[in-house]
Structure 1
Amino acid sequence: MRRVVFVAVLSSDGRLALAANDLSGALPRWVLPSGSVRATETYREAAVRVLRDAVAAMPTRGGTVEGCRWAQVPAPVGRSRREAHVFIFRLAAADDPPEHQPWRGATHWAGPEQWQELCTLCDLPDMDVLLTGYLEGWIPDGPITLGP
């Protein structure tokens, strides 16, 4: 089973940071920064590592909500079993537009109207609900199951 983390970085105005997924010979598509969980890591440790790889030394603060997409049994036809967790981080500096922050690689900032499309690209159902609930404060702290 593959263990994967996704990092959702939100700006002070509620936009989501997306990184370019550079597939050689193809147009880049915008996705959440992600990575595999190493054998010796927890999901949260892997998320912090992925975050640091993406944003270098940009000051962020971690949220207390964790979206979980549990592995499906049996695995869908043509796919490996995958368990994914989404960790939410906020930019600590609210005075500077997020476009001026030091990212490694190309970054795009997506508003809530683009979050549903993101759910499809990342195969993370209910991502828009998770982010909206987090920003509006009606999702409780702790792990939240995404999708069926």
Structure 2
Amino acid sequence: MRRVVFVALLSRDGRLAVVADDLPGAPPRWVLPSGSVRAAELYSEAAVRILRDAVGAMPVRGGTVEGCRWAQLPVPVGRSRREAHVFIFRLAAAGDPPERLSRRGATRWTRPEQWQELCTRCDLPDLDVLLTGYLEGWIPDGRITLGP
């Protein structure tokens, strides 16, 4: 089973950072910064590692909500079995977010009305609900299950 972490980095004004995922031979698409969890690593440790890879020394705050998409059986055709966790972080500094995350390709800051399209590409049902609930304060702290 593949264990994956997605980092949802929000600006102070509620925009979400997405990075270009330029796969050879495929049209460019925008996705959340993500990565695999190493063998002896916790999901939260992997999230911090992926975040630091994306933002370097930029000051951030961790969120209090963790979205989880548990591995499903049977595995859908054409997909590998994976368990994904989404960790929310916010930029701590006021002002405009950086135009480019330090160690990533092109960066775009998306508004909530664009999040539904992003959910489809990341295969993370209800990501927009998770982020909206976090920003508006109506999702309780802790681990939240995403999707079916």
Fold similarity call, TM over 0.5: yes
Q: CA RMSD in A?
A: 1.2
- In the aligned structure 2, how far is the partner of 1:102 from the partner of 1:127? 21
2:18 matched to 1:18? yes
- Give the structure 2 partner of residue 118 of structure 1: 118
- In the aligned structure 2, how far is the partner of 1:83 from the partner of 1:121? 16
TM-score by length of 2: 0.95
Q: Which sections of structure 1, spanning at least 5 residues, go unmatched? A: none
Alignment-mate amino acid for residue 4 of structure 1: V
Alignment-mate amino acid for residue 37 of structure 2: V
For the residue of structure 1 that corresponds to 2:98, the secondary structure is helix
TM-score by length of 1: 0.95
For the residue of structure 1 that corresponds to 2:53, the secondary structure is helix
Moved over 4 A (4+): none
For the residue of structure 2 that corresponds to 1:133, the secondary structure is helix
2:24 matched to 1:30? no
- In the aligned structure 1, how far is the partner of 2:101 from the partner of 2:76? 39
CA shift, 1:55, in A, is 1.1
- Give the structure 2 partner of residue 93 of structure 1: 93
User: Kindly tell me: are residues 29 and 66 of structure 1, through their superposed partners in 2, closer, same or farther at Cα, counting changes over 3 Å?
Assistant: same
Counterpart contact for 2:100–2:106, Cα < 8 Å? no
CA shift, 1:52, in A, is 0.8
- In the aligned structure 1, how far is the partner of 2:66 from the partner of 2:43? 10
- Give the structure 2 partner of residue 106 of structure 1: 106
Corresponding pairs, count: 147
Which has the higher mean CA deviation after the structures are superposed, 134-143 or 52-61?
52-61
Alignment-mate amino acid for residue 71 of structure 2: A
- In the aligned structure 1, how far is the partner of 2:78 from the partner of 2:100? 39
- Give the structure 2 partner of residue 136 of structure 1: 136
Counterpart contact for 1:32–1:122, Cα < 8 Å? yes
Alignment-mate amino acid for residue 57 of structure 2: A
Show CA shifts across 1:22-63 (max 9, x none).
Answer: 212443211000000001100000000111111111110100
Alignment-mate amino acid for residue 59 of structure 1: P
For the residue of structure 2 that corresponds to 1:14, the secondary structure is coil
* % identical aligned pairs: 81
Q: Which sections of structure 2, spanning at least 5 residues, go unmatched? A: none
CA shift, 1:80, in A, is 1.5
Alignment-mate amino acid for residue 67 of structure 1: G
